[in-house]
Amino acid sequence: MSKYTYLTKEGFERLEAELEEMKSVGRQNVAKAIAEAREKGDLSENAEYDAAKDAQGMLELKINEMEKVMANARILDASDLDNSTVTVLSHVTIKNLKVKKELTYQLVSESEADLKSKKISVSSPIGQGLLGKAVGDIATVVTPGGNIEFEIMKIEIK
């Protein structure tokens, strides 16, 4: 059984649009590249044809993977979530106990993670360490450079 992917409504719609783009425009572009390469003659020694066929295979693999994600997607509504513990969609303010610096992140699914937007994946080491914690708890995150401890300062669902 596949694991579920929890997405916001916006994240689901973005993936849906990206999938549709790959199925229509992406497939058309690959087909055009294959046709152009085929016109250049002998296919057994045609590097452009091989590259276009490889691109087609990669595109179909991406489409297949995205369809699997969407088939197992569960759309979360922030109004249905509890903010007593850290869950998917929580905005968590944490304090690094070593450097005494506070940061706020939103925990999201892997497909919606974007560090620039302060959205981290629930399957990342920090995300895994924070899940299920309550305000005042200490989360120990295992990293290659050693363990880092974070205190949960605030949990919000926005």
pLDDT of res. 104: 94
pLDDT of res. 145: 83
Which residues in the chain belong to E strands, given as ranges?
Answer: 5-7, 73-75, 90-96, 101-108, 119-121, 138-143, 146-157
pLDDT of res. 137: 93
pLDDT of res. 77: 75
pLDDT < 70 stretches in the chain: 1-2, 78
Q: Which token pair is 1? A: 């059984």
pLDDT of res. 70: 87
pLDDT of res. 119: 92
pLDDT of res. 1: 35
Report residue 7: phi and psi, to 5°: -130, 155
pTM: 0.66
- In the chain, the domains with their CATH numbers are 5-75 (1.10.287.180), 78-157 (3.10.50.30)
